Amino acid sequence: MVFQAVGKLLGYRKHKTIKKDSPGKKTSGENEKIYLEPRYTAARVVDADILMLVALPKGLNVEEWLASNASAFYNHVSLLYGSISEFCTISSCPSMKAWATQIQWTDEKGRKRKCSAPQYADYAASIIQKILTDEDLVPTKQCKDFPKTFQPAIQKTFRLLFHLLGHIYTCHFKTVVQLELHPHLNTLYLHFLLFCAEFHLLDSKELASSEDLTTALIQSGPSPKTSGAQSKNT
């Protein structure tokens, strides 16, 4: 619900002119990866050195950097998912597909169950909010240390966001293009992926699932540059 409400801010006006996909119809080529076409992969909103944005600034605690970025990425993914959420329904997306994988929801007791994409998005939003607002897990007071449970919790946050980004690309990319949001999505995805790679937030199997897109975006865009982050940090 949070995603839907927030996303109206981005996509509301344009939705009126967009033809809805009929219920049950595949919302984008599930077998064709249109997001890999060069006319789309070159689209960005900024010509920034993303590696510089990703790198830990001098003097900052790494856990604080991870937590603040997790919060920012959550807000950005919320906006983008929200902009297409009216097209992501139980009938259009009865299962949670991200990249080539059908993802099941794993509850807090480790039980897996099938769910639709909008249900997955709702579950993910509530878990992420719970993690990021838990003062014991993500302390905001200087006197408190981050617990050992912080790292797995933050990895879970990034994994859930990665699945949501994957669902948007895999099942709703045509709508994203109609809304002219693909430059935002590409920029967000690349920033997100490079951040995850820098801080080992996704395992290699997850990274491999969208490697073709990551490669296409890096090759077709002006950034990331390979020199920025390290030279600034030394």
How far apart are CB 106 and Zn ion at their closest, in Å? 19
Nearer to Zn ion, 44 or 76 (CB): 76
Check the annotation: does 88 bind a ligand: yes
How far apart are CB 22 and Zn ion at their closest, in Å? 14
Using CA atoms, how far residue 145 sits from 129, 138, 150, 199, in Å, is 20, 9, 10, 19
CA geometry: angle 124, 127, 130, nearest 5 deg: 145
Nearer to Zn ion, 95 or 129 (CB): 95
Nearer to Zn ion, 93 or 193 (CB): 93
DSSP per-residue string spanning 126-189? HHHHHHHT-TTTS--STTSPPPTTHHHHHHHHHHHHHHHHHHHHHHHHHHHHHTT-HHHHHHHH
Nearer to Zn ion, 165 or 171 (CB): 171
Nearest to 194 by CA among 167, 223, 157: 223
Nearest to 166 by CA among 120, 83, 98, 105: 98
Check the annotation: does 172 bind a ligand: yes
Check the annotation: does 167 bind a ligand: yes
How far apart are CB 54 and Zn ion at their closest, in Å? 28
How far apart are CB 172 and Zn ion at their closest, in Å? 6
Q: CA 162 to CA 202: how far, in whole Å?
A: 9
How far apart are CB 207 and Zn ion at their closest, in Å? 22
**What would the two tokens of residue 195 be?**
């951040």
Q: Contact positions toward Zn ion, by CB under 5 A? A: 88, 93, 117, 171
CA geometry: angle 33, 34, 39, nearest 5 deg: 140
Nearer to Zn ion, 64 or 86 (CB): 86
* Residue list, annotated binding site: 88, 93, 167, 172
* Residue list, annotated binding site for Zn(2+): 88, 93, 167, 172
